[in-house]
Amino acid sequence: MSSGRVYRFGTAPEREANRLFVFLHGCGATAQSMIPIAFKFQARFPSAALVVPSGFAPGARGGEAQDWFPTRGLNVDNRAERVDAVLPDVEDLIRREQTNFGVPAHRTVLIGFSQGGTVALEAVKKLRGLAGAVVAFSAQFARLPQIGTRIDARIHLVHGEFDSVVSRVHAERAARVLAGLHVPVTLDIVEDLGHALTHRAISLGSLRLLQGIYERRRATLH
């Protein structure tokens, strides 16, 4: 399975990377489409190294566009199975970059839009200890976590109020289920937004991530 291009952006020369942010693009998009978003996150987290990989299903829509898993014939019944099939490759990619940058799993954040957000959510659900947090934009779990599921990551959900591709209902339901499992979770529904990433949505996602990091730090000091 080809993983395509991976774009890497280190910190400023005088800074050592103390966090790793991995950005997972949306369905039928490109890694390049996530680079401006990655830089917006780095503006708030200047010590974070950025990794922006391409999806594993090349040529999904011709040209450079890629998917993380095949979408032809995708439905509610086979979505979880298709995501599960790519999780070993996702784990290999993330572990390799953690080693490259010398950043541990608990300081790794997965940031995904749409299909990329689904992959990020499923990765921390299935692969415990892979990352410390997820920021999922306009995304949904392939299958909601079951009773007794343990998730070590903090999860921040950001969703458009008028998303007609992935209904906000998925995010609202996920937030309730995660809270019931005692997983630290935030949910922001962005007014007047469809299935898209805007400056407002990105700012909210990076702010919730920052707040979550401070909360965890404060908890460890007491």
- Annotation says 163 is catalytic: yes
Choose, from 25, 156, 159, 195, the residue flagged as catalytic.
195
Count of other CB atoms within 10 angstroms of residue 9: 14
Helix (H, G, I), strand (E, B) or coil at 138: coil
- Annotation says 222 is catalytic: no
Choose, from 67, 163, 170, 206, the residue flagged as catalytic.
163
For residues 187, 158, 110 and 203, what is the CA-based torsion angle, rounded to 10 degrees? -110
Is the distance from CB of 56 to CB of 85 less than 8 angstroms?
no
Choose, from 114, 138, 156, 206, the residue flagged as catalytic.
114
Distance in angstroms (rounded) separating the CA atoms of residues 41 and 50? 9
- Annotation says 206 is catalytic: no
Is the distance from CB of 180 to CB of 159 less than 8 angstroms?
no
User: What values do phi and psi take at 189, rounded to 5?
Assistant: -100, 120
Is the distance from CB of 23 to CB of 9 less than 8 angstroms?
no
Is the distance from CB of 149 to CB of 181 less than 8 angstroms?
yes
Q: Which residues are catalytic?
A: 114, 163, 195
